[in-house]
Amino acid sequence: MKRRSFLTKAGLGAAGLTAATLAAPAIAQDVRKWRLVSAWPRNLPGPGVAAQMLADRITALSGGRIEVELFAAGEIVPGPGVFDAVAEGTAEIYHAVPAYWGSKSKGILLFGSQPLGLTAIEQHGWMLQGGGQALYDEMYGRFGLKPFLCGNSGPQWAGWFRNEITSLDDLKGLKYRTTGLNSEVMSKLGVAVEAMSGPAMFQALQSGALDAGEFIGPWSDSALGLYQVATNYYGPGPGEPSSAEECAINLDVWNDLPDDLKQAVAAAAESLYNPVLAEYNTKHALALRELVSQHGVTLREWPEEITIAMGNAMGEVIGELRASEDELVRRITESFLEYRKLMVEYAPWADNGQMNMRGLDYNYGDA
């Protein structure tokens, strides 16, 4: 994949489509035609690929009774406009991340990623077993949307830095691209947070308008060429232990579906969560090898001092969410905290314990 193609496509404005293109979806011979508007450049490794997978999966599992056509960012609406486009009926479904919709409600941000919060598997567990999906439905229902999680990028990285970071003082005034609740946390540490797309982040790092930024992880970041403009790559990223991808359907369109098609759409979204996560994990690992061996990227460990400060800052953010005037935001926050506490108790005996044992010094036959 070439970085230039992503920058070109991401820079497109809303295309001048004909009125016929934007007309109400046709239902001929029981076939519904859906427009899926994406927040990503077409086929961007990671989320752009996952958006196409979703379009194809809904079409297949509906037996062709819903034909989904993907429109990348800028082809009908700009990437940041997909939430409103579907809510208003300009398109039937979108693919993006909850981290982009904090201006709608801070409660939405907890469904995507939480600094020092849930892993990808835990996030899915909260939705399916911890009451998260009902709260997710209630929040998005306010905006005329029916949401599903449909993937996860796994652990994200702290990002690309032009200069080395060794202490909290190095963050003061740093111009840094990030999204979601991590923006709130980093702002509390004195960082000048910037919100922009991944392709725009490349240009800003190149020009010096940014000092640093995080996008996703090695696979997607490599496609954008971020290693060309900032060679210090910091991980892990405590700001996003995982980052869920979502789709949301216009609620009137959803309610108009017969029950079997509702089940097909739900199954399409839910069945992609683990395959998307598996692809990210595998291709992140392969891309990281290449970044180090072929592109001279320096891997650096995120300082523990900063992680602790981020945890304390997230505690302040949690306090603000708990004090929200919006009763639903308060309920979402308490549900998230309850599930996180359960996982914090369990993980040392499960995933954390297994990782610690795997890291011990023994001959496994692969040296």
What does each of the 367 residues of the chain score in pLDDT, given as a tens digit?
A: 444 444 444 444 333 333 334 444 444 468 999 999 999 999 999 999 999 999 999 999 999 999 999 999 999 999 999 999 999 999 999 999 999 999 999 999 999 999 999 999 999 999 999 999 999 999 999 999 999 999 999 999 999 999 999 999 999 999 999 999 999 999 999 999 999 999 999 999 999 999 999 999 999 999 999 999 999 999 999 999 999 999 999 999 999 999 999 999 999 999 999 999 999 999 999 999 999 999 999 999 999 999 999 999 999 999 999 999 999 999 999 999 999 999 999 999 999 999 999 999 999 997 6
Q: Is 215 marked as binding a ligand?
A: yes
* Cβ atoms of 248 and 93 closer than 8 Å: yes
In sequence order, what are the residues at sequence separation of 6 or more whose Cβ sits closer than 8 angstroms to the Cβ of residue 229? 160, 162, 202, 205, 206
**How far apart are the C-alpha atoms of 257 and 185, rounded to whole Å?**
41
- Count the neighbouring beta carbons within 10 Å of the beta carbon of residue 45: 24
Cα distances from 68 to residues 9, 31, 56, in angstroms, run 20, 10, 7
**How far apart are the C-alpha atoms of 95 and 50, rounded to whole Å?**
9
Burial of 327 (0-12, 13-18, 19+ CB in 10 A): exposed
Q: Is 142 marked as binding a ligand?
A: no
- pLDDT at position 244: 98
User: What values do phi and psi take at 244, rounded to 5?
Assistant: -75, 140
Nearest to 150 by CA among 134, 131, 127: 127
pTM of the model: 0.90
Q: Respond yes or no on whether the N-terminal peptide bond of residue 236 is cis (omega within 30° of 0).
A: yes
Residue with tokens 């216009």: 250
Q: Is 240 marked as binding a ligand?
A: yes
- pLDDT at position 17: 38
Burial of 99 (0-12, 13-18, 19+ CB in 10 A): buried
Strands 212-213 and 31-38: unpaired
User: What tokens does 106 get?
Assistant: 């801070």
* Cβ atoms of 210 and 201 closer than 8 Å: yes
- pLDDT at position 366: 79
User: What values do phi and psi take at 326, rounded to 5?
Assistant: -90, 115
**How far apart are the C-alpha atoms of 65 and 108, rounded to whole Å?**
31
What domains lie within the chain, and their CATH numbers?
3-153+242-283 (3.40.190.170), 159-240+298-358 (3.40.190.10)
**How far apart are the C-alpha atoms of 193 and 317, rounded to whole Å?**
16
Q: Is 305 marked as binding a ligand?
A: no
Radius of gyration over every alpha carbon of the chain, rounded to an integer in angstroms: 20
- pLDDT at position 109: 98
